[in-house]
A = this chain, B = another copy of it.
Amino acid sequence: MKKIVKIGLIGWGTVGGGLVKILKTNAHLIEERLGGKLEIKAIADKDIVSPRSIEIDKKLLTTDVESLLHDPEIDIIVELIGGKEPARTYLLEAIKEGKHIVTANKALLAECGEIFKAAGKRGVNIGFEGSVGGGMPIIKVLKEGLVANRMEAILGIINGTANYILSRMTSEDKDFQEVLAEAKRLGYAESDPAMDVEGTDSAHKLAILASLAFGTRVKLNDIYVEGIKEITQADIRYAKEVGYSIKLLSIAKENQGRIEARVHPTLLPQEHLLASVNGVFNACFLTGDAVGNILVYGQGAGEMAAGSAVAADLVDLARNILSGTPHRVPVLTYPLGAAKMKPMKETLCRYYLRFSVLDRPGVLGSISNLLGKKDIGIASVIQKERREEDIVPIVIMTHEAKEENIRIALQKIDQLAVVKAKTMLIRVED
């Protein structure tokens, strides 16, 4: 019986380094749990010269990816270079060669259904625990732990950078730009933070989670996305005043056969467990028809946390390989057809609206009339006396309303002469 599973690693960067450290440090323990050995046979990267934080046998390193893909001894290809190309080409080639693959590449998985398709056709398996939520075993929880549930909802804080920025804006009274600059300095935000603060990274991950949860392929384009750049200190303070925290939430729900999927800043009640998830941590709050509510929380990034997820995938695939059944859990537990999505304009939720208006009599009346015409009820209002400025904020929390109606109403309201800036809208999740 085969006792060694050989691995080819593409990408000798942060997560790759973490993975190698874990496989080295915990080699004995993993062997005991697996009943076999995981061996890194080769590591390919464009740059194999720059020093890394871990020592390895130089003979393992190569710049020739092809030599890994075509090495008949290699059972599993681990792809940790990220981005769509050349990762896509490498993985498709590895699959063609009959190798199982492990990847943490959320962009690729969210946008290229063909990877799953090719793997299914060729009969190889894909591990992708590392693609969402760093060290949290959220893919396994959804795919196996909650396998007997019809999933109803996912609420996720799945971008550590955005959560770090909002957490510090909340705890320290600082503005978005100021916190972002600090996050960059501390290495919590990349030099180009667009993917994180604009919500794209969250949407990639939500596409993966929602597809698994609802058993249908939710594509990136199916997801409504709004980032956190426009959130101001004023919004954070008003939210706090009414008992809410602002989080960048990734939300997916299924209702009567239709799926809604959206990423946007969200007012979340302060007593909600997700409201206590601060800093770079990630968490997913899942609702299943049998299990009720489940929360999984952990470090969303970092070489060791992400390495832990990739290593768990390797053990999983190795268990299959060693027992001779690579297909034990199907690559996909859902068909690849298009999901039946609920258009964003049909979404129902409560809204936080911050109007910037001239301090004149009758302004609140005009606004509430226009809201009322589109069936939007007002749950609470904050309007404070101001002495120095002429432009004052009015904050309204609405009852549940339809997105389409809110948009129409705001368009009209923003045209009023007394309204001096675009109204800030933040959705509420109770």
Contacts and interface: CB of A to CB of B under 8 A. Distances in A.
A312 B146 CA distance: 6
The contact size tier of chain A is 35 or more
Interface in A298-340: 298-299, 302, 304-305, 307-309, 311-312, 314-316, 319-320, 323-325, 327-330, 333-334
A294 B297 contact: yes
A273 B290 contact: no
Interface in A169-224: 215
A contacts with B: majority SS? mixed
A288 B273 contact: no
A21 B137 CA distance: 27
Contacts of A319: 328-329
A144 B22 CA distance: 15
A320 B328 contact: yes
Contacts of A136: 294
Contact of A316 (B144, B289, B290): B144
B292 A302 contact: yes
Contact of A325 (B29, B302, B325): B325
A155 to B, nearest CB: 13
A29 B148 CA distance: 8
17 contacts: A26-B290, A32-B215, A34-B147, A35-B330, A135-B291, A144-B312, A144-B316, A147-B312, A148-B312, A273-B297, A290-B311, A292-B298, A292-B304, A294-B296, A295-B296, A324-B324, A324-B325
Given A137-B294, A288-B308, 18 more contacts: A22-B149, A25-B150, A25-B289, A29-B150, A33-B330, A135-B288, A136-B294, A137-B140, A144-B312, A147-B311, A271-B276, A273-B273, A273-B297, A291-B298, A291-B304, A293-B298, A294-B297, A296-B297
